[in-house]
Structure formats: C-alpha cells, structure tokens
Structure 1
Amino acid sequence: MLPLSILSSGKALPAHRVTSAELDITLAKPSGYVEKRSGIRYRYHAGPDESQSALAARALDDALARGGIDASSIDLLLSAAGVQEQALPSTACRILDLAGLRPGTPGFDISASCVSFLVALEVAAGLLNAGAHRRIAIVASDLASRGIDWGCPEASLIFGDGAAAVVVERGDGTRGIESYRLQTFPEGKAYCEIRAGGTRRNPRVGVDAADFLFRMHGKRVFKLSASVLDGLLAGLLDDAHVTLDDIDTIVPHQASHLGMQHVAARLKVAPERVVDIYATHGNQVAASIPTALHEAFLTGRAQAGQRVMLVGTAAGLTVGGMIIRL
C-alpha cells in the first residue's frame, strides 16, 4: 500500500442550474427530449462572469473549511483539469492567485482528461512518500459548457460544470492506495477531442471556429473502452489482493447515463454500491470523480477503514482506476 490520507473534501458549482426542460425550449426540441437523450434532470453551467479558477478556489475553500484545515499548511497545489483555463500559464497558478495559500506555494497542472484526478492522487502520494511535501491540495475544475457544440446532441447534452477538491497527506501509513492502473490506447485519440488551443491548430497553421468545440464519436469510445475495461478492473483487484466483495463503494466517472448503467452491469454489483450523481450534475469531465467521491463522504458511503474503487474512461483513449483504503 502506498500511504495516503484524505483529510477533507469539498466542491463548488456555478450559480446557474440548467434543467433539461429549459434546454428543450432553448434547443426547440419536444418536451422531454433532452432528459430522454441525456439522462439528466439538471446540471450547472457557468455564466460569462464565472471562471474555472475561481470555481476551483471555492471548492478548495470548502474542503479547507470542512476539515478545519489552515490554508497555510498546504505546501503544494495540483490542478487536475481535463481542459485548462488557457494554454499558458498553468491553471494551477491562476487558482493559487485566488486560493489564499501562502505566497510562493508551488503549483502545477496534471492533465489526463476525465481521469486527471486519479493521476493527481497517485502523483501526490508519490511526492508525500518521497518527503518532498507534507500536505497537498488537489483541485479538479472544468467548464465543459464553454466547449459545447449544441448542434451535436451526443457531445453537448451530457455535460455540466463544476469543481471538487481534496486535501491529502501521507498519514500514519494505515490507509492509502492499494492499487492503481492507467492505460492509454492512442488508436482512440480522435474519438474525443478539442483540436484547437495548442500548437496543432492555431492561427499560424490554420484553425476553424469549430476546432475550439468538443467532438466525440460516442459509439467508438464505448466500443474501445468496453473492450479494455474488464482487464483494467481485474488487474486493479489482483494488484490489491482483493475481490469485488471487498470493495465497499465504487466511484465511477459520471460519463453518461448509459455509461453508468454499463459500469454497474459489468461489475454485477447492486446499484447502491455505485455512487451515481449523474442525473443532477452531468458529466463534469475531470471534476466528476472527485465530486462523486465528495458525495460519498457526505452520505457516509465512504468512511475510515473502508475500501473505495475509483474508475473512469477519458480522452486519449485512456482508462484508469484506483483502490483506496480510507
């Protein structure tokens, strides 16, 4: 086990709640169309005056307040966003500008799309156990609504905005990461993408307005991820020397209503063992897993001594999972 203790968690949502009924009207669709297609009752979208970094700072403030943690005790901030606030500099530095941490506190970005939070937890655990840091804040924030192409129902109706944060330290070694796996299959690199924003598509080499919007080939994503997910889950359990019966709660990436159903069916577990907040949050990209984990803490489904499995799929195509003893 790689020692890691989660001291506290928190979340933040934009002010504007968007119901599927409202989207039916906005998109000129029949009543019930959006909820039927998306599986969402409502989600939250940021207004033009709200920023990704400000939402992240609010989530961190919430985590610090809930844990009674002094902001000055944080000696590293990791931003685990699927899409950064801008190409340069890091989103972490923009969060630090608002978070009220000690001046000079270091921060950097970790980007692995929807499973960025899992990667950040593993990186944080490594740094803590190496003695490089004593207490780390991990914040995942995404404004998916800024990249929505409303002309594509498959890639627009499922998303919501949000942020979540955790504060971690090494602890006494009685709790931590029992297994972790991350696999990338680049044959799926074009299945989920935003083409612009980097060096590949920009004004120097050519760019279209549509290149700044999210594109997805849902059936291809599902087919490829379904073909590799069983192996990932089996490897996670084997590495931790446990069976699925030893897992108290499963926290999946809230990808879609069909994806949530697929996870429960694939694992053959009772629905109550799977944290499902999709209908009221949507797919929040990298913020999905930590927001669902925060919900598990709040509802008592993730408690000290229990095992929690975090699992998700991401652009790349990447699949990742982690088993944590709390």
Structure 2
Amino acid sequence: MTSYAKIIGTGSYLPPRRVTNQELAEQLAAKGIETSDEWIFSRSGIAARHWAEPDVGSSDLAVKAAERAIEAAGIDRQAIDLIIVATSTPDFIFPSTASLVQQKLGITNQCAAFDLQAVCSGFVYALSTADKFIRSGSHKNVLVIGAEVFSRILDFNDRTTCVLFGDGAGAVLLSASDEPGILSSAMHADGSHVDILCVPGNISGGNIVGSPFLHMDGQAVFKLAVTVLDKVAREALAAAEMSADQVDWLIPHQANIRIMQGTARKLGLPAERMVATVHEHGNTSAASIPLALDEAVRDGRIRPGQNVLMEGVGGGFTWGAALLRM
C-alpha cells in the first residue's frame, strides 16, 4: 500500500514588532532616503512587515512555529524522526538551525536534523525532500520549518529592497499516511541567474569579503518569476494528473502581489482562491508559504480534503511547486 506524506499539523509565528510602511518611510527619511506608504504598497502590495529583535534568531522563530504545529498535530514530539529547516538566515554557519531547534524543543531521540538552503523556494524544496523520506519508508514523522530573519541582511540605503522583506517562521508536521497527502512536486534551479538575487558577501580570514546585504534586480526577478512559476505549477499538476480547475487553493510565495496575481491569472484561477498574506507579512522568504498556509488553515479557509498548490521562486535561481491534499 502506498504511504503518503500528509500534513497533520501547521503552525506559524511572527515577531511582535510590526513595522508599517509609514513607520519605515519615516526611518528612511531620517537617512535622507525618500519613500512612502503609497510607493511601497503600489509596487508590492505590502502594508507592513514584522521584524525580530536583535537577540532573536531564526531558530527562536522556528521553535515557536514548530510548537504550534506539534500542538495542532497532537503528536508526541519524541515521535518526530526528522527535522528539516529551510532558511537563508541561519543562527550560525554551523551548527545547523535544525540542530538548534531539536535542542530547544527538547527532542532527545537523536533524530536526524539538517538545514536546506534554496532561499524563497526553500519550503517547497524541504517539503518535497520530506515527502521522499516518508515515501521511502525510512521516516514516519517529519517536522518541516521555514524560518527567516531577513531584516539582518537588508541594506537600508536601498529603498528598492529594504521595504520588501520581513521575519517569521512557519511549520508543518508531515506523517506517513494511507490517505493522499503530497500528490506531486517539482523542483528546478538555474545557476546562470545567480546575480539577479543574491547576498554576494562571504567570510574569509574572519572578514566579510564583498557585500553582506541582499542585492536584487527587481525587473529581472519579476520577469523570470512569472514565467517559471507558471511552468512548474503545470508540471506538478501534470505529475498528479490533475488540472488547475481542481485546485481549491493556490499558495504562492508571498514576494509581490503582482507576481502572485500574474501567476494565478496564467493558471486561470480566480483571485479569491489564492491565499495572500504579503500585505501584512512582506516577503519572508522560506517562511512565506507555511505562514500563509497556517493562517488559512486556522481561519477555516483551507479544509480537510481540499487540494492546495504551493509554489515558490528564489535566488539561485531556484523554483518549485508542490501539490497536496489536506
């Protein structure tokens, strides 16, 4: 009998500090950089974002989201046999954020734990990876988390990027099931586009060589994102032998409302079947899809038995989609 990887619990967490566009515009004005609530919102659909305090790391946000997912699943945390954390902003170069999460959750069963780095596609990559572990029969209960503190890598002299990103974490618990769960997934990357979205700095001899801040060519990212998201969504649908009209909910990476709406239009999905949280969360990279998923599950929009299509695109250049039944 086929063993599916099925989501049995979701959770999310946002840092308490909510920064509105107006507040951010005032902060930038003090530095001589001009922007406004209207300028930010009209270009991105973002009205606010949440930023973590300086002493709060990705692992701290991840633990909060994970605790809520574990509670929703009603599972003993010692039954978790794999932890995967998707993040581009780990607490340390090593140990992995996943190992820190294991320790902070008090999971003492010596389960495997590792990080996965695919930037804004990270959660879809991690979900697909967890699916393979469960389908192989090697693991039964996998905790998958997307967690980011992107506020740490923003250049506040660049108004085109510093207004877009937020911090947060989302988590799901996947468990082996005879009922359909993850139906299909697809992942891709094209390293020839590394320069359009990256943090080009690195550490050498204890010093940062290059820039430690996020760099993005917004127009290039927009053009590529709309194209690849449509293709990978159709690839995931075809793999499951389903059509777009069978999708109950689309959860795209919450990067920019115009990219999100463009993808939905290409798939022929009405706006009311797309989960959008970008207005309140901003772009939280690997955390954006699980944050949106948890919100829609908890407010009752997403219900058991419904088909959900997730898709993400990020630096690398990476992109992926996952189709699942709740």
Task: Determine which of 102, 106, 114 is the counterpart of 1:108.
Answer: 114
Structure 2, unmatched stretches of 5+, are: none
1:99 paired to 2:102? no
Which stretch has the larger CA shift, 251-260 or 32-41? 32-41
What is the TM-score with the length of structure 1 in the denominator? 0.92
> Kindly, what percent of the aligned residue pairs are identical?
33
Q: Is the contact between residue 83 and residue 113 of structure 1 (CA under 8 Å) also seen in structure 2? A: no
Q: How does 1:47-66 map to 2 (within 5 A)?
A: 47-66=53-72
- Residue 12 of structure 1 aligns with which residue? 13
- Cα distance per residue 1:277-325 (max 9 Å; x no partner): 0000010000001111112211223222211100111111112111112
Q: Is the contact between residue 193 and residue 215 of structure 1 (CA under 8 Å) also seen in structure 2? A: yes
Structure 1, unmatched stretches of 5+, are: none
**RMSD across aligned positions (CA):** 1.9
For 2:278 and 2:65, the matched residues in 1 are separated by: 19
1:177 paired to 2:145? no
- Residue 217 of structure 1 aligns with which residue? 217
- 1:203 Cα offset (Å): 2.9
The aligned amino acid for 1:276 is A
Aligned residues, how many?
A: 320
SS at match of 2:203: coil
Task: Determine which of 120, 124, 129 is the counterpart of 1:123.
Answer: 129
Q: Is the contact between residue 21 and residue 35 of structure 1 (CA under 8 Å) also seen in structure 2? A: no
Q: How does 1:21-40 map to 2 (within 5 A)?
A: 21-28=22-29, 29=34, 31-32=36-37, 33-40=39-46
Measured at CA, do residues 249 and 227 of structure 1 come closer, stay the same or move farther in structure 2, by a change above 3 Å? Answer: closer
- Cα distance per residue 1:150-175 (max 9 Å; x no partner): 12222211111000111111112x21
SS at match of 2:204: coil
Measured at CA, do residues 215 and 62 of structure 1 come closer, stay the same or move farther in structure 2, by a change above 3 Å? Answer: same
- 1:217 Cα offset (Å): 0.6
The aligned amino acid for 2:266 is R
Q: How does 1:273-288 map to 2 (within 5 A)?
A: 273-288=273-288
SS at match of 1:87: coil
What is the TM-score with the length of structure 2 in the denominator? 0.92
SS at match of 2:195: coil
For 1:94 and 1:319, the matched residues in 2 are separated by: 27
- 1:2 Cα offset (Å): 6.6
- 1:46 Cα offset (Å): 0.5
- Residue 96 of structure 2 aligns with which residue? 90
SS at match of 1:288: helix
The aligned amino acid for 1:244 is A
1:80 paired to 2:81? no
1:252 paired to 2:258? no
The aligned amino acid for 2:28 is L
Measured at CA, do residues 121 and 229 of structure 1 come closer, stay the same or move farther in structure 2, by a change above 3 Å? Answer: closer
- Cα distance per residue 1:109-129 (max 9 Å; x no partner): 111111111121122122122
- 1:55 Cα offset (Å): 1.0
For 1:239 and 1:2, the matched residues in 2 are separated by: 17
Measured at CA, do residues 31 and 83 of structure 1 come closer, stay the same or move farther in structure 2, by a change above 3 Å? Answer: closer
For 1:37 and 1:232, the matched residues in 2 are separated by: 25
For 2:171 and 2:313, the matched residues in 1 are separated by: 20
For 2:280 and 2:228, the matched residues in 1 are separated by: 28
For 1:179 and 1:30, the matched residues in 2 are separated by: 42
- Cα distance per residue 1:16-58 (max 9 Å; x no partner): 1111111111111465344344422211000112121111111
Measured at CA, do residues 181 and 59 of structure 1 come closer, stay the same or move farther in structure 2, by a change above 3 Å? Answer: same
SS at match of 2:89: coil
1:142 paired to 2:143? no
Task: Determine which of 145, 167, 170 is the counterpart of 1:164.
Answer: 170
